[in-house]
Amino acid sequence: MNWHPLLEFLQMKGYALHVWGSYLAVPALMLVELMLLLLRKREILRHLGWRHDELGEVDESS
């Protein structure tokens, strides 16, 4: 198998650190944000004494 085009693409003509550093920072920070939000939610549910927070079709506003 010829890996040359793939390696060339990953190297970005010498700008790999800059290009991939930019592209990977976005999903990395997004995942961190989502994980922090899920942890916060879990902490709130624990504080309220709820095991989960999905009521399905129940609409408590009505």
Partner 1 sequence: MFLTEKPRPQGICRYLENQAWSRYCSPQGFYPLALALIPWLALSALVACAAGLFLGLFIAPVDPHQREISRIVFIHVPASWVSMLLYLATTATATIGWAYNVRLAVLAAQALAPTGLLFAFLVLWTGCLWGKPIWGDWWVWDLRTQLELAQAFLFIGFIVLHMVLENQQRANKAGAILLQAGVLGVVVNFTAEQSWTAWHQGKHAVPVDVSYSEWASLLLMSLGLLLYGGVAVLLRLRCVILERERQSDWVARRGRLLQ
Which parts of this chain interact with partner 1 (CB under 8 A)?
Answer: 12-15, 17-19, 21-23, 25-26, 29-30, 33-34, 37-38, 40-41, 44, 47-55, 58-61
CB of 49: closest distance to partner 1 in angstroms? 7
Q: CB-based burial of residue 42 (10 Å sphere; 0-12 exposed, 13-18 middle, 19+ buried)? A: exposed
CB of 4: closest distance to partner 1 in angstroms? 16
Q: CA–CA separation, 18 vs 8, rounded Å?
A: 15
With respect to partner 1, which residue has the nearer C-beta, 1 or 13? Answer: 13
